[in-house]
Chains A and B, each alone.
Chain A
Amino acid sequence: MPKPHRVLIDRVSGYADEAGAFVRRRRMTRRPFARLYYPTGRSADHADDSEIGERLFEAAGSLIELGATAEERASATGRKRRNE
């Protein structure tokens, strides 16, 4: 029969392993990506360090900024959607 402190250590290291796996999975899902789909049904991923990927992320960034501005404006005026 294992000593009580060994049981405790095993349990703690078990939780630590679980937490580590969770963080690793979360980091994987948080990784930015750029995916393009074509009418033929094909899709292509572009890494953020490739030339096209870099430009896509930059263009998407300006759209996200635009979206944030629109959202702020909508909440400031108390309206959900407004076309200008």
Chain B
Amino acid sequence: MPGGSQSTVSPESAEHALALLGEMSADLRAAAILAADGEVLASDGPAAEWAESVSSFLSIADEAEGNPVEQAHIATEAGEVFALRIDGLVAVAVTERFTLASLMAFDMRSLLRDLAGTAQVDSATAGANGGGA
């Protein structure tokens, strides 16, 4: 997994981040945030279906050149798919056609970085408190 170590993100934080992405991106239809191991932290719709579809999509993308991809952008007549891996997290977004790709990628990147940063602060706080409550 490119992008560094695994992050432990709470589903609440992930859900909040997903809501924020929806507010930022007018063209967003649906999205999901997953942990590096494929666990769905937050999603628009059934988590199991997202887990399966995203896992399948990323494994095909990784297979393309034998290296793990950091970002994928697929544009079809029916819509566009963006996937981004960063700091041990995965964000996948389905958008309308002709979405501004650079803006979408920027929003997703900043979202995952914030989320990973929050997770690090949480784990550091838990460590300082003797491993949590």
Contacts and interface: CB of A to CB of B under 8 A. Distances in A.
A52 B60 CA distance: 7
Given A39-B70, A66-B49, A66-B53, A55 B3 contact: no
Given A66-B45, A67-B94, A83-B15, A52 B22 contact: no
Interface in B66-98: 67-79, 81, 92, 94, 97-98
Contacts, number: 126
Nearest to B92: A63
B94 A63 contact: yes
B75 A33 contact: yes
A73 B49 CA distance: 14
Which range holds the interface residue count of chain B? 35 or more
A59 B11 CA distance: 25
B63 A67 contact: no
Nearest to B45: A70
Interface of B is mostly: mixed
B78 A82 contact: no
A32 to B, nearest CB: 5
Contact of B44 (A30, A33, A61, A67): A67
B73 to A, nearest CB: 5
Contacts of B31: 67
Interface of B: 2-3, 11, 15, 18-19, 22, 29-31, 42-47, 49-50, 53-54, 56-57, 60-61, 63-65, 67-79, 81, 92, 94, 97-98
